[in-house]
């Protein structure tokens, strides 16, 4: 009986372990789905930009969430040697609703749109002191206040660097030469084919004419021979 009880308890323990394993897998799967569908921010194709002193720049930031948003809070800060200076903040009540934005900097304008999941800003009349990192932050209460941030780096220059177009010119020239050569070859080929076809037509005409003449002569000779007949006695 003792051995039976031991076996039963062992089996029960294994069942509990299996249940715990299955529960752990379910939780891990749910967490994975949650992370995949969570709030994400992006600065687009590039996370930095180089602009001239005195110009206006667009600091791009867009958000995405498979779960959706509700009362999404966002803000922009400038990192001034470790000190964060707030530029603006706002709340988007729901998808497609115009956000309520408070501007904290006199040279900043909000140009985003909740319909395009865009929370970008414009920075006017930039100076060399504006160079540095700009942090876009958002928090989504619908995802238990899940938050995310993205960094956009601005470089201010006195004049834009001239792009070396030598390689581009070489590539365009080579392509142009190749295309021109192909066109010339096609034209020459078309002319050769045209003249060859003409020669073939002339040869055919000569053959037909020659054959016709031979047949006609043979026919006349035969006719004359038949007309003569046998002379009467």
Confidence of residue 171 (pLDDT cuts 50, 70, 90): confident
125, 54 contact by CB (below 8 A)? yes
Exposure pattern of 127-160 as b/e (b: 16+ CB <10 Å)? eeebeeebbbbbbbeebeebebebebbbebeeee
Confidence of residue 34 (pLDDT cuts 50, 70, 90): very low
DSSP code for 131: -
Residues 54, 17: Cα–Cα separation, whole Å: 67
The architecture CATH gives domain 40-157:
Sandwich (2.60)
Lowest-confidence pick of 38-42, 76-80, 131-135, 158-162: 158-162
The alpha carbon of 191 is separated from its chain's Cα centroid by a whole number of angstroms, namely 44
Residues 57, 122: Cα–Cα separation, whole Å: 6
pLDDT tens profile 53-62:
999 999 999 9
Report whether pLDDT(43) > 70: yes
Report whether pLDDT(35) > 60: no
Confidence of residue 25 (pLDDT cuts 50, 70, 90): very low
Residues 117, 92: Cα–Cα separation, whole Å: 10
Instruction: Kindly state the average pLDDT of the residues 28-50.
Output: 72
Task: Pick the more confident residue, 63 or 190.
Answer: 63
Strand partners, 134: 78, 152
Residues 112, 72: Cα–Cα separation, whole Å: 14
pTM: 0.56
Q: What is the pLDDT of residue 230?
A: 55
End-to-end CA distance of the chain: 151
Q: What is the pLDDT of residue 172?
A: 83
pLDDT tens profile 105-147:
999 999 999 999 999 999 999 999 999 999 999 999 999 999 9
Which residues are CB-neighbours of 146 under 8 A, at least 6 positions away?
38, 39, 139, 140
Residues 76, 86: Cα–Cα separation, whole Å: 6
Instruction: Kindly state the average pLDDT of the residues 152-161.
Output: 87
């Amino acid at each position: 009986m003792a051995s039976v009880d031991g076996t039963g308890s062992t089996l029960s323990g294994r069942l509990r372990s299996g249940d715990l394993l299955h529960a752990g897998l379910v939780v891990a799967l749910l967490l994975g789905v949650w992370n995949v569908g969570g709030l994400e921010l992006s600065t687009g194709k590039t996370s930095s930009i180089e602009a001239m002193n005195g110009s206006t720049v667009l600091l791009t930031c867009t958000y995405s969430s498979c779960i959706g948003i509700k009362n999404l809070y966002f803000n922009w800060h400038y990192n001034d040697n470790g000190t964060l200076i707030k530029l603006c903040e706002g709340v988007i009540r729901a998808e497609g609703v115009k956000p309520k934005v408070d501007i904290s900097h006199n040279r900043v304008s909000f140009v985003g749109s909740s319909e395009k999941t865009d929370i970008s800003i414009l920075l006017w009349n930039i100076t060399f002191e504006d160079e540095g990192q700009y942090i876009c932050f958002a928090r989504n209460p619908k995802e238990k206040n899940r938050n995310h941030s993205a960094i956009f780096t601005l470089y201010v220059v006195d004049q834009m660097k001239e792009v070396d177009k030598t390689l581009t010119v070489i590539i365009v020239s080579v392509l142009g030469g190749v295309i021109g050569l192909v066109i010339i070859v096609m034209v020459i080929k078309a002319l050769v084919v045209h003249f060859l076809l003409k020669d073939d037509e002339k040869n055919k005409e000569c053959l037909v004419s020659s054959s016709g003449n031979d047949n006609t002569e043979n026919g006349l000779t035969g006719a004359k021979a038949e007309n003569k007949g046998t002379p009467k006695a």
